[in-house]
Amino acid sequence: MERDPEIFPDDVNGNVLWKMQQDGDDLSKAREIEFTVIFATEDDALGFGETLLVNRQKILLSNNDENTEHPFELVAYVYMEPTHEELSAYEDLLTLHSKPFNGHNDGWGCFVQK
């Protein structure tokens, strides 16, 4: 199968989705996707977490001892179909709303659906 740049653009998300599809993941199946945003302080992470909770998002706050500059990570769990458009739009939304709390996107992940 040849890579369609409209479905799998040449960027990080497009490359990950292409690899997932090549590995047999059925990208037409919606699933819970974990988006991680990292913070330097727990107060910033909690402030951003409150924003997500008010919008009825499922979240988890945890420590990341491997990252000394941003040791607090907040994971938002979103049920969606893993399309480039949806993933990128949600990452943009996280970037916009985490910026006042000095948050940085740290990627996304999900379980394979066959």
The model's pLDDT over 81-92, given as tens digits with 9 standing for 90+, comes to: 999 999 999 999
- Number of compact structural domains in the chain: 1
Q: Is residue 82 part of a domain?
A: yes
Read off the pTM. Answer: 0.95
Exposure of 23 in the CB half-sphere (CA atoms within 13 A): 10
Residue 29 lies in a domain: no
Residue 72 structural domain: 12-17+36-110
**CA-based nearest residue to 31, from 95, 88, 110:** 110
Q: How far is residue 5's CA from residue 70's CA, in Å, rounded to a whole number? A: 34
In a domain, 30, yes or no: no
Q: CATH number, domain at 61?
A: 3.30.70.3450
- pLDDT one-digit tens code per residue, 54-66: 999 999 999 999 9
8 A C-beta contact, residue 111 and residue 30:
no
- Give the span between the Cα atoms of 20 and 102, in whole angstroms: 31
